[in-house]
Amino acid sequence: MSIKANANVQDAAYTSFYHDAFVRLKKDKVAIACLVFIVLLILVAIFAPLIAPYEEGYQDTSAILEGPSSKHWLGTDEFGRDILTRIIYGSRISLSVGLIAEAIAVTIGVFLGALAGYYGGKIDAVISRIIEVFASFPHILFAIVIMFVLGTGVINVFLAIGFVGWTGIARIIRAQVMQLKEKEFVEAARASGGSDLKIILRHLIPNCLSTIIVVVTMAIPSDIMYEASLSFLGLGVQPPVSSWGEMISMARKYLRTNPTYSVFPGIALVLTVLAFNLLGDALRDALDPKLKNL
């Protein structure tokens, strides 16, 4: 009996949900290009000292504000620092802002969203109001206020952006948990004596995972932009640490004398943001076709 009943399973190759999603993702050429770009970017950030043509902070006093040349591929800034080197080191800040700030946002968002969605009632009402209060401020303004309070510095940039960005994911997780908790497998877990915490951790959050992945990929570029904006406004990363936003901010003064100074960090920023956004789109289609309207 059992052999017969399982005949169809045998036909199908062993696949997990994420394997299927990856197969779908592989068909999307743009997504793969973006993925390759992001992986390369991460490698560049990790191995910056090996890749960069000059040491961080090296000043070539013979070449101030020069355009691209064989010595300095992307030119130099007002202190004679190599722009390519600074962009490479700047990718460290941009990526870690994306990852760490988003990790903070996801932790807060998933936790509060799951609580609100699972318990409903008063807990939901309170958390939902908090979300609304946070979401009603313009994000960048809110981040500026936090930076004023905390002071400038890399860690504070992470915190400020993380605190600003959790509301979106909290809302999505709340809605998804509300749907999921009606499913019979949640009831089955309750009927077997599972505690609320175990149900949330074993059943609800894993089923939100694909949503979380998609939301995170889509949120990273805006985090990178916030960091760039904060640094551009002089509230983020402080010189001599280089970040793309800070570079664009400094280059503003030399727009006439050396326009490429601002263009190259700008291109790096745009390409990175674009890559994450396109990958996010593709992941959404691959992981969860239902999220089409996200």
Partner 1 sequence: MPEQEVLMAVERLDKWFPVRKMGRARGYVKAVNDVSLQIRRGETLGIVGESGCGKTTLGRAMIRLTDVTDGRVVFDGQDITHLSEKELRPLRRDMQIIFQDPYSSLNPRMTVGDIISEPLVFQNMYTPAERIERVRELMDLCGLDPIYIRRYPHEFSGGQRQRIGIARAIAVNPKFVLCDEPVSALDVSIQSQVINLLMDLQSRTGIAYAFISHNLNVVYHVSRRIAVLYLGRVVELADREDFKTNRAHPYTKALFEAIPQVGFDEQQKRAPLTGDLPSPVDLPDGCVFHTRCPYTQPRCRTEVPELREIDRGHFVACHLV
Partner 2 sequence: MTDKQPLLKVRNLCTYFYTDEGIVYALDDVSFDVARGQTLGIVGESGSGKSVTALSIMRLVQTPPGRIVSGTVELLGDDILKKSKKEMKQIRGGKIGMIFQEPMTSLNPVYTVGNQIMESILLHGDCDRKQARERAIEMLRLVGIPLPEKRFGEYPHQLSGGMRQRVMIAIALSCNPQLLICDEPTTALDVTIQAQILELINELKQKTGASVIMITHDLGVISRVADEVLVMYAGKAMEYGSARDVFTQPRHPYTAALLKSIPNLEDDVERLHVIEGMVPSLSKRPAGCLFNPRCKHVMPVCREKRPALTAGPDGRLVRCFLQSDAIEKEEAHA
Give min distance, CB of 23 to partner 2, in A. Answer: 10
Which string of b and e fits 120-141 if b means at least 16 CB within 10 Å? eeeebeebbeebeebeeeebee
Give min distance, CB of 193 to partner 1, in A. Answer: 4
Helix H, strand E, coil C: the string for 63-128 is: CCCCCCCCCCCCCECCCCCEHHHHHHHHHHHHHHHHHHHHHHHHHHHHHHHHHHHHHCHHHHHHHH
In Å, how far are 25, 31, 62, 109 from 286, measured between CA atoms?
Answer: 5, 10, 52, 23
Pattern 10-49, binding to partner 2, x per CB under 8 A? -x--------------------------------------
Contact in structure between 289 and 17 (CB atoms under 8 Å): no
Please report whether residue 1 would count as binding partner 2 according to CB under 8 A: yes
For 247, phi then psi, to 5°, come to -60, -45
In Å, how far are 7, 41, 54, 77 from 48, measured between CA atoms?
Answer: 53, 10, 10, 19
Question: Based on CB atoms, which residue is closest to partner 2, 22 or 47?
Answer: 22
Question: Based on CB atoms, which residue is closest to partner 1, 6 or 107?
Answer: 6
Give min distance, CB of 128 to partner 1, in A. Answer: 15
Question: Based on CB atoms, which residue is closest to partner 1, 11 or 151?
Answer: 11
Which region among 1-9, 105-113, 129-137, 214-222 touches partner 2 (by CB under 8 A)? 1-9
Question: Based on CB atoms, which residue is closest to partner 2, 7 or 197?
Answer: 7
Question: Based on CB atoms, which residue is closest to partner 2, 27 or 252?
Answer: 27
Please report whether residue 4 would count as binding partner 2 according to CB under 8 A: yes
Please report whether residue 237 would count as binding partner 1 according to CB under 8 A: no
Quick one: tokens of 29?
Answer: 């050429």
Please state, in angstroms and rounded to a whole number, the distance separating the CA atoms of residues 156 and 164. Answer: 12
Closest to 235 (Cα-Cα) out of 155, 140, 148: 148
DSSP category for residue 291: G
Single residue of 193, 197, 289, 292 touching partner 1 by CB under 8 A: 193
Give min distance, CB of 3 to partner 1, in A. Answer: 6
Residues that bind partner 2 (CB under 8 A): 1, 4-5, 7-8, 11
Residues that bind partner 1 (CB under 8 A): 1-3, 5-6, 8-9, 12, 14-17, 183-185, 187-195, 198, 202-203, 206-207, 209
